[in-house]
Structure 1
Amino acid sequence: FRKWNIFQHAPETQQVDTQKQQGLNYSDKGNSRNILKVTLGGHITRLKQDAVEKTPRWKGKEEQKETMKPVTRVQEARENMAMKPSPQLEGIKQKTVKSTPIVQGNEGKTTVRPAPRVEEAKEKTTVKPLPRKEGGEEKAAEKPSSGVKGGHENTSKGQGKPKDPPVSMKTVRPVPQATAVTPKTKLSSANFTSEPHWDFEDEYLLDNSSPPSTCSESVRARAAKSDWLRDLFLPNITLFIDKRYFSDSEWNRLEHFTPPYGFMDLNYSLVKEVISLLPPNPHQQLLLASRDSSTPTCISCAVVGNGGILNNSGMGHEIDSHDYVFRVSGAVIKGYEKDVGTRTSFYGFTAFSLVSSLQILGRRGFSNIPREKHVRYIHFLEGARDYEWLKALLFNENIRKGFLNLSGQKPRDKFDKDFTMDRYLVVHPDFLRYMKNRFLKSKNLEKHYWRLYRPTTGAFLLLTALHLCDRVSAYGYITEGYEKYSDHYYDKERKRLVFYINHDFSLEKQVWKRLHDENIMKLYQRS
């Protein structure tokens, strides 16, 4: 049979590229190329680059025999012993203990009214937590016990749950017998043909510790007046994660969502180790907290994507005139100062976009990420490799051999010598899921290749700025008429923008235009 290619007649020229072909697997702006080659259908399992190794099964019958030996001895002892209960035990009834039900999530912190369109979607496809597979097998989040990698390592198969004896029965057990543990199946994205839905998927951690904005024309003030954004925009949502936000209950809640929106398919020990080392952020709204409250000024931010619309734009001076400047991934400045400016306040990236940008764009002037002492770094954890990369950064170690086709390199070497983690911001999975659910809910999530889709890194950065700043201007993002421009502003030869299925460029274009039309932000456009 001839292999069918889904890309031959896809609308909007949707394609999938390979890392080997171009070396990039990210989108650093609303209209940038995110390069990822995946053959769909039967080969979709190749996508699981971030999948963790599963716990090995029991190897053979010899181990089972070894496990059964103590039980056999206990059984023999019980058969050869006749014990008469002592008088003191007469009348004593066997006690039963009723286990306390586990509460999913963090109810005290996650009471958020779901957005209207999310409620509508959930009515159609909502799945209750811990659904059952065919045949009645329970599908549940794995809750590891403290000090071990996973609770399933201490489970036993084939042992029936012992029946409770009558309450009035008086028994004496010569040797205590361990209670059988019911094995639980770990949630896996491979078991879903489209994005799974849960009744708590639109609940997020909130933070009320930050000071309010004094800007009467701020993004949050205008969103509150918008019929579209009034119920969508959460000005006090938790933006960044640190060691205070990790617990077993949070693991259980977030394991229902695939990365970057949660912990499904990730290794518990790795996630716990990394997040437990992140220093607390004094304020979620760090720009509002650093502002002089006595001065009722508005905090202005420029968010610079890498779209070709900026080539020969002359926007450099206007960009630098903002209070803060956000840049993303391959943010080439050298040689393009008149078009993109020179200042950088925040640099957003994923592990892959940072490493690939330095590899591919080094000869075009991007030999280092922004290193000024005032620069803050915003890391979007898109998968397991980001946790590995961040762990190596925290311990100042080399990344493992073969990681992103590199070896013997320390992530710490990418930063300046005075770098400290208090300038490093790790975006909370809740915030990433919120951005996807309420602003960039693509129809691709309903397809069999749903695991491929996520908003572009540039989209994540722009929406982050909209939750940090009072006034936001976006440059280098996809607009109407994008066909007239090259993919990136730094392209030496013209490259048309290709719509790949792992991003929804059409949706992002619509959202940026609507935010501009409703005066929530300013979108740089050219006629």
Structure 2
Amino acid sequence: MQKALGLVGLVFTCCMLLYVVLWINLHEKWTGIKGIVVSSGILWEATHKHIDGHTLINKTIITSALDLSSFRTTSLSKEENPSYSTELEASITPIPVLYKKNFMKLPEWEFEDVYLQDHQTRITTCPKSLHNTKDPKFREVVLPNIQLWLYRGQLSITEWNRLAHFNNPFGFMEYNYNEIKVVVDLIPKPKSSILLTVPGSAKDGCIRCAVVGCGGILNNSKMGKEIDSHDYVFRVNGALTKGFEKDVGSKTSVYVHTAYSLYASLQRFRQYGYDRIPQDKGIKYVMIPEGLRDFQWLQGLLQGKEATGSFKGVRPLKFFNGHFNESIFYVLHPDFLRYIRNRFMASNQLQDNTWAMYRPTNGAFALFLAIHTCDIVDAYGYITKDHHKYSNYYFERFKKTNVIFYTNHDYGLEIKMWNKLHNTGIISLYQRQENLNTTKT
């Protein structure tokens, strides 16, 4: 009997030792694996408060969730990352679904400021590049190699368990793993993670970009020729140019949208002549996966079928009029979107019970995409502090509407941010107040 008890004790001790060794190994993979960026989380905008404290229920959920996602990999396969373990991945299950209603403000996880990084990012040779800025605060928070794109093969269960802690569009909180994974696995991997190349005519190696919003400040601005003179032009939402070329130009190189903004803009702005999305030769389409309806749209688009859910009966492919090609289509990664919110656009609204409604505008994401893609960025049609002088949209010639400050965006914060980026020389913001020293000429 004593021998039997001794044998059981020995087996138990060995098991405990094995458990400790495995735990240490997994912890090292979590903290030191290639592809992870851990930062101080200091926000660039000094007036923004770092998220602090949680209610008791928040702390309870955070602890239990971390127990189930204590490690992760960033690879797509064993060949690309030897640390990847198929056996280990197979033994993990998705964490219990987290619900936004259980949090009275934005929950901050231990890995809130952890992001995938991309080792194929372009190294600029442009002497005037915004990436050469001397601004210490910008240099401290910017991640030039942040992962921009979401595509097939990225969404392992361990990766899901990390992203499932963040609300959409910054992650997959409240979503079903299988429902999202089947769509992500349809998204083509870009041949190159570099969105735009240096033009052959650019002897200085610089990529010059214009980012054009829909703001009424462009009405009668006569900025069209200047906008089109850039190497690349980003546009968003209702990117109407026909009939407004003198003010906004005619060229579109990158069109940034959500499923809803693409669909609704065509319905809402048809009265102004907007009857199709931009379809320029060589154009790149960049989609912001805003919510579940975007993944339903994506599935229909990439399978050439009708969408389901919110877009039931709609065939997304028809909106591209035969110009859709997987090689020119990109989907922004939740890490990039969360990084922009956390480090540049952290609204005070994240501290109250409407936290889950807030996200930066499509125009904000497009502008920061350009900042991470181009060397010289000029912004046109973006909201300024004197926005009340202008119509909501530049194409409103007769019936003018005002900007409405909806809860889901923080326009006050965006006004301050665009001005700050302008004053520090990161971008050049088009403004029409002739009496200001910061006015773009």
Matched, 1:108 2:45: no
Q: Aligned letter for 1:496? A: N
Indicate which of 418, 421, 433 corresponds to 1:515. 421
Question: How far has the Cα of 1:207 moved from its partner?
Answer: 1.5
Matched, 1:526 2:437: no
Deviation digits for residues 71-127 of structure 1 (CA, Å, limit 9, x no counterpart): xxxxxxxxxxxxxxxxxx999658454554465688431233223249995683279
**1:239 and 1:427 in contact (8 A); partners too:** yes
For residues 93 and 315 of structure 2, the distance between their equivalents in structure 1, rounded to whole angstroms, comes to 42
The equivalent of 1:351 in structure 2 is 259
The equivalent of 2:239 in structure 1 is 331
Indicate which of 412, 418, 441 corresponds to 2:346. 441
Secondary structure of the corresponding residue to residue 115 of structure 2:
coil
Question: How far has the Cα of 1:502 moved from its partner?
Answer: 1.2
Deviates more, 1:338-347 or 1:365-374: 365-374
Aligned pairs for 1:178-193 within 5 A: 185-193=96-104
For residues 343 and 264 of structure 1, the distance between their equivalents in structure 2, rounded to whole angstroms, comes to 38
**1:141 and 1:187 in contact (8 A); partners too:** no
For residues 417 and 182 of structure 1, the distance between their equivalents in structure 2, rounded to whole angstroms, comes to 41
The equivalent of 2:306 in structure 1 is 398
Q: Aligned letter for 1:108? A: K
Aligned residues, how many? 395
**2:211 and 2:379 in contact (8 A); partners too:** yes
Aligned pairs for 1:466-477 within 5 A: 466-477=371-382
The equivalent of 2:150 in structure 1 is 241
Indicate which of 365, 370, 375 corresponds to 2:283. 375
Secondary structure of the corresponding residue to residue 215 of structure 1:
coil
For residues 505 and 353 of structure 1, the distance between their equivalents in structure 2, rounded to whole angstroms, comes to 18
**1:259 and 1:382 in contact (8 A); partners too:** yes
For residues 399 and 141 of structure 1, the distance between their equivalents in structure 2, rounded to whole angstroms, comes to 36
**1:324 and 1:344 in contact (8 A); partners too:** yes
Instruction: Indicate how the Cα distance of structure 1 residues 430 and 295 shifts in structure 2: closer, same or farther if over 3 A, else same.
Output: same
**1:105 and 1:249 in contact (8 A); partners too:** no
Deviates more, 1:183-192 or 1:381-390: 183-192
The equivalent of 2:362 in structure 1 is 457
Q: Aligned letter for 2:375? A: D
Matched, 1:479 2:407: no
Can you give the 5+ residue segments of structure 2 that lack an aligned partner in the other structure?
70-91, 434-441
TM-score, structure 2 length as denominator?
A: 0.82
Deviation digits for residues 417-457 of structure 1 (CA, Å, limit 9, x no counterpart): 24211111100111000110111100011111111111111
The alignment's C-alpha RMSD in Å is 3.1
Secondary structure of the corresponding residue to residue 378 of structure 2:
strand
Higher helix share: 2
Q: What is the percent sequence identity of the aligned residues?
A: 41
Matched, 1:198 2:104: no
Structure with the larger RCO, 1 or 2 (CA within 8 Å, 6+ apart): 1
Deviation digits for residues 316-357 of structure 1 (CA, Å, limit 9, x no counterpart): 111111000101011111221111111100000011111101
**2:345 and 2:413 in contact (8 A); partners too:** yes
Q: Aligned letter for 2:381? A: G
Instruction: Indicate how the Cα distance of structure 1 residues 384 and 354 shifts in structure 2: closer, same or farther if over 3 A, else same.
Output: same
The equivalent of 2:213 in structure 1 is 305
Question: How far has the Cα of 1:138 moved from its partner?
Answer: 4.2
Indicate which of 271, 274, 291 corresponds to 1:366. 274
Matched, 1:322 2:205: no
Matched, 1:271 2:161: no
The equivalent of 1:280 in structure 2 is 189
**2:152 and 2:189 in contact (8 A); partners too:** yes
Structure showing greater Rg:
1
**1:127 and 1:198 in contact (8 A); partners too:** no
Secondary structure of the corresponding residue to residue 183 of structure 2:
helix
For residues 127 and 284 of structure 1, the distance between their equivalents in structure 2, rounded to whole angstroms, comes to 40
Matched, 1:221 2:132: yes
Secondary structure of the corresponding residue to residue 286 of structure 1:
coil
Matched, 1:408 2:316: no
TM-score, structure 1 length as denominator?
A: 0.69
Deviation digits for residues 342-399 of structure 1 (CA, Å, limit 9, x no counterpart): 1100000011111101111123211111123311101001111111110111111112
The equivalent of 1:386 in structure 2 is 294
The equivalent of 1:255 in structure 2 is 164
Segments ≥4 residues shifted beyond 6 Å: 89-92, 126-130, 140-143, 181-184
Indicate which of 382, 399, 406 corresponds to 1:493. 399
Q: Aligned letter for 1:443? A: N
